[in-house]
Amino acid sequence: MSATHTAPARDRLRIAIQKNGRLAEPARNLLTACGLSWRQSRDKLFCYGESMPVDLLLVRDDDIPGLIADGVCDLGIVGLNELDEQAKARRQMGLADAYQPLRGLGFGDCRLMIAIPEEWQWSGVQMLQGKRIATSYPAILRHWLQENAVQAQVVELSGSVEIAPKLGTADLICDLVSSGATLAANQLKPVQTLLDSEAVLAGPVRELSDARGGLIAMLLRRMDGLAQEQATKLLSFRAPGERLDALVALLNDAGPLVQLGERDGLVQAQALCRGTLTWQQLEEFERAGACNVVLYSVERSLA
């Protein structure tokens, strides 16, 4: 576990992402959507930023927190599960925090969960007293056990955690769960969540005061803008003029209503809506007097 290092001043920003794995392609797509482009090295481990002074390091996901701590890179896109595991391990070793999540990125969702054999009846965390729990996340698990005053043996495994009960090396497991299919195939069932995880943009605890600080601020603004755009829809509809105010009141965080003209006694109108619009809300919208309702995705908005 590396100690915290003060990064030397640089005028180029370095971002570490997975070379391969479930976060690799979404991470690249996100950074491309932020306006970044690169020229890749022959060994495919480094990408030199062409559109902006922002370079990529292509690495293993579990190396990313340490690279940030050592000042080798300035930012990283990594699962919160990996970031939190290494952060808690540092604290348990008496080391200071060296990195932090800056933004949740909305992909790579999973949960770190306790899973028990299917034949067990879950009665709460106290039933874990004295049990052997296999996991690849020992620091998170130890912290959680301590918080819940449970004395249990943590069995550290680097992979294939789900087969530990069958092999007799553990009584139950603590592992990442996405669909739950792997657990079911091994006659296990999830019963307790320790951490809700997703991909995050991680950065140093201390803000960078050189040119990289401005690049990080720019990147965060662009990411926030993309997140807002993904939640923004353009609602187009027709309705009687006297019903417009009541209809807009039904919408979530609607922007200014734009009237595009009137025909056959109905006003053609549009409004930007931020936030989720459910089928039930759209059906209520129609019952309140709207017709020809169409919802469009918004790629870019300066509103």
CATH number reported for the structural domain that contains residue 251 in this entry? 3.30.70.120
Q: Give the pLDDT confidence score for residue 251 in this predicted structure.
A: 75
Residue 190 has pLDDT above 90, yes or no: yes
> Which pLDDT band holds residue 9 (cuts at 50, 70, 90)?
low
Tokens of 207: 């803000």
Contact in structure between 11 and 210 (CB atoms under 8 Å): yes
Is 5 a domain residue? Answer: no
Would 2 be classed as within a structural domain? Answer: no
Q: What is the mean pLDDT of residues 178-187?
A: 91
Q: Residue 246: which domain range?
A: 232-297
Q: What angle do CA 9, 10, 15 make, to 5 degrees?
A: 120
Residues 265 and 143 in one domain: no
- Residue 117 CA to residue 97 CA, distance in Å, equals 36
For residue 48, CA distances in Å to 30, 51, 201 come to 17, 10, 19
Whole-angstrom distance, CA of residue 104 vs CA of residue 189: 28
Q: Is the pLDDT of residue 102 over 70?
A: yes
Residue 273 lies in a domain: yes
pLDDT grade for 298, boundaries at 50, 70 and 90? low
Does 3 fall in a domain?
Answer: no
Residues 99 and 211 in one domain: yes
Pairing of strands 132-135, 153-156: parallel
Whether residues 44 and 165 share a domain: the answer is no
**236 shares its domain with 251:** yes
From 209, 229, 249, give the residue that closes a domain: 229
Partnered with residue 267 across adjacent β-strands are 239, 262
What integer pLDDT is reported at residue 303 of this predicted model? Answer: 46
